[in-house]
Structure 1
């Protein structure tokens, strides 16, 4: 009887480990995607001529 309980315990442990591995893998993928999206948003855009489009903040008309 203890053999059967031990076997079920190992199977449930392996199943749990597989679920945790899968959840961690999906979480990592999601976090990497979010980081890429944030980095893309944070980068300044470039004009057609390759110069940075920094806007007009802080500039005064003279």
Structure 2
């Protein structure tokens, strides 16, 4: 019952995993940048009401 459990192509699997992680990170960063730009545009369009200093 001696079986070898070594993967056939470890280098390719590691490389593809790194590629997937890189692309996911890049997509996430782009999405977050777009979100911050949208929030900035929304904030610029709203007038300030000064609700903070009531009281």
Q: Cα RMSD between the aligned structures?
A: 1.5
For normalisation by structure 2, the TM-score amounts to 0.70
The structure with the largest alpha-carbon Rg is 1
Unmatched segments (≥5 aa) in structure 1: 45-62
Is structure 2 residue 20 aligned with structure 1 residue 20?
Answer: no
Unmatched segments (≥5 aa) in structure 2: 1-6, 49-55
The within-5 A match list for 1:38-53 is 38-44=42-48
Number of residue pairs aligned between Structure 1 and Structure 2: 42
Greater helix percent: which structure?
Answer: 2
Residue 54 of structure 1 corresponds to: none
